[in-house]
Amino acid sequence: MKVELVTTLKRQATKILADLHSTKEPVLITEHGKPSAYLVDVEDYEMMQRRMAILEGIARGEQAIRNDQVVTNEQAKEQMNKWLK
């Protein structure tokens, strides 16, 4: 992963963004020697957001199973039919 100082970002934003778009490699921005932010390509960010939504759905499903908040396939079909009327 590429690391850049925030001052370098201020001075060379266009070049850093061009490199980011061509390599798709995230850029870690540091301030005072500490990590401050990541720059990532828009498509990569959107893909990460979609993956996160899927993982959150899986986590909610796992929690429902642990809490015994599940229904059978037949019960689910009946509920869906009611909702679709």
Provide the pLDDT for residue 84: 87
Provide the pLDDT for residue 85: 76
Average pLDDT over residues 14-34: 96
Confidence of residue 83 (pLDDT cuts 50, 70, 90): confident
* 1-40 under CATH 3.30.56.10, yes or no: no
pLDDT tens-digit readout, 45-76: 999 999 999 999 999 999 999 999 999 999 98
Give me the residue spans of the domains in the chain: 1-40, 42-85
Nearest to 59 by CA among 78, 51, 48: 51
Provide the pLDDT for residue 17: 96
